[in-house]
Structure 1
């Protein structure tokens, strides 16, 4: 994946006294080890901090994007990021609330490590005075024998404390129970923090608040083994104001990989943000200043029909993840679907993504009469209804009005040699694929 987002244009809001105050305003602090100490630490000399990403899928998703942007904000404040992609923890997976994870093969996990490292690289700067560094916990766990692991690390963990961690406790009370494998996950994550403390002087770990038990297993381990105090910061889990789960669209996770979630689908997800959620999303997912976010919030309240907040949110986050060029293509595709642009300039992939949710039908090259197309697509339920639509001026093919009920669409009008976009009236759309 190319380095698409423009890191040079990103900066923290100078209206805040320090980065901690900005993180608080953005709603990114849910739980932390010691708020007063952390603020002092982050306002002082550069520190090294880390966040871990496990390769339990071939792409990161929106929950991970929250962490990447927290990391970037800290880097913009002068601190030094370590991006950890968990080659070893990814072989186990942290305990989910409901059931055991499917264990992936070592080859699959190794492949996914590469994908995730590529994604992490796009959100952090690896140049300048405080460049990011990539680390993989397989480097220090692979050489360790089971005996050494138990003697050097395991002896510092108390089973009673481990059992009380939320992720473990909820699973212990479920029908599924929890395996020793997943139970051990917090020890591995604690060991990561200890290793990074020893190797880099790492003094802060960030993550989602659902990871708090794992985050604090590291701070406790360092306290016991090294006698030093280090920090953890847990961001809130993002939920929609109506109680539905954030980051899902039609039952699918919103992935950062364009092959798993097209830029068009990604953009539409943000565009469909509820008014009640727009300001919170702008705070978390964009680098807009407080003044800019507040102005958009006012617009959402006073002119909700204009959807200025949603449009700005969709543009900013899609540009951040997929680049400005891809975002502009998506906006052009949205406009073209409803007659405000030239469909022929859309590349095939964008066209397919933009029309993926529409009713569709496949016809052969002989069936290109406008009446047959309207019926085949489902836009008209009979030939007589289709004739009526054409007669009333409501039939369009590729945004061009068709007024003759006997019209036959020519082969050279097919988009990318095989597609047609049909429209009845202003808003009823369908696609036709012409088979060879």
Structure 2
């Protein structure tokens, strides 16, 4: 089971898809081979390579002839795996989901496979040490949360981005625990284990790097590639799946699946990888690195996701527009020309942030992100008045959220003291008199002023209180 894309992408140069793939000492340029193949058979792969979404293919001859012909022959089934080792996917995983969305838009069927079983084993790929074991209950809860997230993204894509004139393929979300839960360890090793060779398994990069580390590798982790290979075999037998998509760090696991299926059934199957994405410093973004930008709202709000893409370095935005949006490449070029003419408007960044936020959180999420942006950076009282309790708490995550009973005659200083925003006694009174307190983006210097509806209390029953530069308090007023 793959756990693709442990990170998020910093920047891919214009020819980033001209990457080399090695097997048995031979290096393969995926892009050059697709360019040499017949245009009639290259459509989808050629498009994904131009966007930088695909990096490598396996086996070597797939990019030249077999896989393009297979995709042109009719609807195929493509799968990608996601291990539920956290309760949310992150932006790095989004690139794999986008790959599936491209295949689905082209009429192919896609399987998103959640590793309810393999998450309890742990993928060693890209890891310097073994991850902490997860309980079955934790994995089950993580699986439920990620399933909802994936379904939401596919739904948003169909509503907002898919060409309605083209019939999309089907999408199915599976849990690999469903085909492992009845296996006994002896029966599984007897059937599957005999088709694996220790020399090949030991040669995988993920294994070699861990064997050379101080911690080494456990037997549990070592068997991960067996389970991922069997996943591919099961999906091939039950769903006719012949293509696996994964992050570039999954290439060894893809090879294991290909070899296992070839030995068991003789059928030809294929692997495609997407590039790993990194931070501006070149580090992988993800759970292990502790710098993940999550896809679930309770971990990263629509505003925070929007701001992540809005703040990308200028030299990364073109690559990200190609990777993370469905805009035609000609439109990407126009956006970049407009941005070069007036960089201060950041038109490309804004479009990128809007497209990704709408894909992940829908139209409502994008509108929420824009409201939060207006409140925080443009001091918009109108936007503040339109915000929900949830949005305010997302925007000011560290701010206390207090519900207070609105009594007649409540003054500014009463409100400040009831939420402990100012010190007791003369010092707090002086702070108010000196204008250190802001209510709904307006400075106030009258401690004894009675709270006025629509000025101090917005129509949504909220008050945003700020003391100094960074101390926020959110008050939800309850009527008598």
Aligned pairs (5 A) from 1:79-228: 79-95=108-124, 97-124=127-154, 130-228=169-267
The answer to whether structure 1 residue 432 and structure 2 residue 473 are counterparts is yes
Shift of 1:196: 1.1
Kindly indicate whether the alpha-carbon contact (under 8 Å) linking 2:110 and 2:172 is maintained by their aligned counterparts in 1: yes
- Which residue of structure 2 lines up, in the alignment, with residue 12 of structure 1? none
The answer to whether structure 1 residue 289 and structure 2 residue 328 are counterparts is yes
Q: Residues 369 and 46 of structure 1: is their aligned pair in 2 closer, same or farther, counting only changes over 3 Å?
A: same
Q: Which runs of 5+ in 2 are unaligned?
A: 1-40, 159-165, 405-409
- Which residue of structure 2 lines up, in the alignment, with residue 368 of structure 1? 413
Counterpart CA distance in 2 for 1:258 and 1:138 is 26
Shift of 1:210: 0.7
- Which residue of structure 1 lines up, in the alignment, with residue 51 of structure 2? 26
Provide the TM-score with structure 2 as the length reference. Answer: 0.76
Q: Residues 347 and 409 of structure 1: is their aligned pair in 2 closer, same or farther, counting only changes over 3 Å?
A: farther
Larger mean CA deviation between 161-170 and 38-47 belongs to 38-47
Q: 2:100 aligns with which of 71, 75, 78?
A: 71
Deviations 1:321-355 (A, max 9, x none): 11111211221221123323421221111112223
Kindly indicate whether the alpha-carbon contact (under 8 Å) linking 1:53 and 1:86 is maintained by their aligned counterparts in 2: yes
- Which residue of structure 2 lines up, in the alignment, with residue 399 of structure 1? 441
Kindly indicate whether the alpha-carbon contact (under 8 Å) linking 1:81 and 1:131 is maintained by their aligned counterparts in 2: yes
Counterpart CA distance in 2 for 1:32 and 1:210 is 13
Shift of 1:206: 0.2
Root-mean-square deviation (CA, aligned residues, Å) is 3.4
Shift of 1:200: 1.9
Shift of 1:418: 6.5
The answer to whether structure 1 residue 331 and structure 2 residue 361 are counterparts is no
Larger mean CA deviation between 164-173 and 38-47 belongs to 38-47
Q: Residues 207 and 56 of structure 1: is their aligned pair in 2 closer, same or farther, counting only changes over 3 Å?
A: same
- Which residue of structure 1 lines up, in the alignment, with residue 464 of structure 2? 420
Q: Which is bigger in relative contact order (C-alpha 8 A, separation at least 6)?
A: 2
Shift of 1:302: 2.8
Q: Which runs of 5+ in 1 are unaligned?
A: 1-15
Q: Residues 87 and 384 of structure 1: is their aligned pair in 2 closer, same or farther, counting only changes over 3 Å?
A: closer
Kindly indicate whether the alpha-carbon contact (under 8 Å) linking 1:370 and 1:405 is maintained by their aligned counterparts in 2: no
Q: 1:51 aligns with which of 56, 80, 89?
A: 80
Kindly indicate whether the alpha-carbon contact (under 8 Å) linking 2:429 and 2:447 is maintained by their aligned counterparts in 1: no
Kindly indicate whether the alpha-carbon contact (under 8 Å) linking 2:153 and 2:361 is maintained by their aligned counterparts in 1: no
Q: 2:273 aligns with which of 234, 259, 262?
A: 234
Q: 2:63 aligns with which of 16, 35, 60?
A: 35
Shift of 1:70: 0.4
